[in-house]
Each structure stands twice: as C-alpha cells, then as structure tokens.
Structure 1
Amino acid sequence: MDRPTIAILLWLVVVNQAMGGQVLYRTTDARGHVFFTDDPARGGEPVELAPISVVPALPASSTATRAASSDAAGDAPSRTYDVFTIAAPDDDTTLPTGFAGKVRVRLELRPALREGHGLRLLLDGDIVRPAAREPVIELVNLVRGEHRLQAELLDERGRVLRRTPEVTLHVQRASVNLPQNPNCPASRGQDDR
C-alpha cells in the first residue's frame, strides 16, 4: 500500500471509532484506486477493523519530578543543555599538508551558554585553551599524526558538567623524509640549485 492509502485507512479507523463502530466498505475503481466509504449503496466489500490498541501512559515518578524541579531552580545546570558536541571538524577528518596543521574547532551548544559557565578544549587529553565563552577555537601548527579532540563544559566553579564525544583528527604535514613532496622545504632547496 502507498502512504496516502495508509493515511486514509488510519483516518477512517479513527472516524469509525468515533462514529460508534459503523461498518466501512472498500471499493476499487476501474484504475485500481482503493476507496473507503460508510455508504453501502456505493457497493464494495465490508472491512473488518481491529480495535485500536491503547497503551496507558506511565505515571510520572517522583525522581523525575524532583529532577525537573531542580533543573528549574538551577541546581543541575548540566541538564539544561540539550546539545553539546564538536560540530566541526567531523570525526575522522584528515587535514591535508597544505593546511599546515591549522584547524578551526566549532562547538555546538543549545541552549546558549549560561552566565558563569565556560568551554574548554582538550587535545589528546591535554587542555589546549582554558575555560572561555567563545565556541570557536583555532588550533595552529598541529604536529603530524592522529589527534583526539574533546570539549568540556564547566560551571562557575570550574567543575566539568559535560564532555563531548571524542573526535579523531588526522594531520598530514610536509616532511624532509619525503623529498618529492612539493611542500617540503628541502625539495624546494634542491630545485633551486
């Protein structure tokens, strides 16, 4: 069945339940389009509809209520952020040689950073930048190889509230061990002779 037919059928089920269980009839026109009606004069075959399954909602637990009230009071600020992640660069990104180990890290945070909170960036587990409010951090002159980036969200006392998942970054750099590389200073010196 296609989506419009399913949508119509579901709508008819709801209408059928609202009308007290009247009989529905299914008809097919010359082009093969299926129609549902409650008018037996139009012909068609009666459709048996199963009762709609109803699942009752779970009662709210007292712990969930306490957590919601503490969020409102500001006791648990880490729960007030819906999104905290490294938006750029993507995980498993490779910086080519021409980038010279330079990358701009952009953090995504929703809602906006609360007063007194800060963001800091870690490179391979070491703090690159102390806590600040700016969600864009530029890293320069990264050495060749694989690096792990992670950001931390800090409260006004410097406690870590949340950490982003790690992002792996691969950095390619010119090397004197690769003399054929046009970005290698040694290969430029050889060409000048």
Structure 2
Amino acid sequence: MQHTRAIKTVVLLSGVLLAAPLLAQAVYRVVDEQGRVTFTDNPASGGDEVEVAPLPNVSSSRTAAPKASAETPKRSAPGRPFMPYDRFMIEKPRDNARLSRSTTAVELLVSPRLRDDHQVRLRVNGEISQSALHSEAFWLANLPAGTHRLQAELLDSQGRVRHQTPPVHLTIEP
C-alpha cells in the first residue's frame, strides 16, 4: 500500500513537473500531518510555492531499434524467461564527476537493448528517485550541493529487481 502511494506520488510529481513549464502555472508543495509530501496547482491548499525549472531534452546517440516486422516475434511475449544482460551500467555521468549545476542527464548502457517487458528505475542515495520506466535515460533536477550516489535497477515484467548497476558518485559543487 505504501509502495503504491509512493509510485502514485512520483507519477503525479513527474506530471506536474513536466506540465508546469508548459502551462506556466504555479506549483505548491504540501506536507500533511504524517509528513507525506504532495504537489498541487491549488494555492488554497496551504502549500509553499515551488519554482519548477523546465527540463532540457535528452538526445540519445544510440540508433533506434528496428521496427518489428510480421516475421519477427514480439519481444514482450508472455512467459519468456529472464535473460541476463551483458552490460548494465550508468554511462553518464562518469563515476566521481563534479558538476556545477544541479540538473543532469543520467544515461545507461544496456546491452543487449532493454527488453520491452523490462523497466529501469533510478536511486539517488539509496532512495528511489525515478519510478520504473522503459528508458535508458533519466533527468535529475535540483540536486543539492554535495556528493550523491546513483544506482539504476533493472526490473523484470513482474517488477522484481534483476540487476543493479555499479554505483556512480557525483558531486554537485555549491
């Protein structure tokens, strides 16, 4: 139950963060009596206004996967056994990177390509930062100054963690 609520909060926050710059609306951060944080566009909620910076685009240098043809079986066929990946690591930023800005792209190297029924989630300092997505790139925004530990987790079609990347440390300079 707590995990489902956390996922809903992350999805809601992601939607608010992505939509806010497009709609030019204010976003408010509200903390309830139990310490749970929610975000809203309702100023009557009693929350503090949050400045939301627009996220830059992520461009991948990888070539797109070919489209499936009638002869090619769909990769996400039910019951397909889990097959390990040869490479699963954070490619950017590099370990021990020092950044002067608090927003950065996180790019993964996954080989062979990420299966359709697998997802990746990102942890920052051991906490889930980005909910599971079928993506090899994430954005981290508003990281506080200091050293942070990044690690990505590969989830199978059942949501089980099957791989973890080696940790990558980065420092945001004040």
Shorter-chain TM-score: what band?
Answer: 0.5 to 0.7
Larger Rg: 1
Percent identity of equivalent pairs: 40
Matched, 1:157 2:141: no
Note if contact 2:116-2:134 (Cα within 8 Å) is conserved in structure 1: no
Root mean square deviation of aligned Cα: 1.3
Paired residue secondary structure (2:88): strand
Name the SS of the counterpart of 1:127 in structure 2. strand
Match of residue 82, structure 1, among 79, 86, 90: 86
TM-score between both structures, scaled by the size of structure 1: 0.48
Question: 2: distance between equivalents of 1:142 and 1:136?
Answer: 17
- Structure 2 residue 129 is the aligned partner of structure 1 residue 128: yes
Q: Secondary structure at the match of 2:81?
A: coil
Query: How does the TM-score come out when normalised to structure 2?
Result: 0.53
Residue aligning to 2:55? none
Structure 2 residue aligned with 1:94: 98
Which is helix-richer, 1 or 2?
Answer: 1
What pairs with 1:1-193 in structure 2 (closer than 5 Å)? 74-77=80-83, 79=84, 81-96=85-100, 99=101, 101-173=102-174
How many angstroms does 1:102 deviate by?
0.9
- The corresponding residue for 1:67 is none
Deviations 1:102-147 (A, max 9, x none): 1110011011111210011000000111110121111111001110
Alpha-carbon distance in 1 for matches of 2:91, 2:132: 18
Q: Which runs of 5 or more residues in structure 2 are unaligned?
A: 1-78
The size of the alignment, in residue pairs, is 96
Distance 1:168 1:104 in 2: 14
Q: Which runs of 4+ in 1 moved over 6 A?
A: none
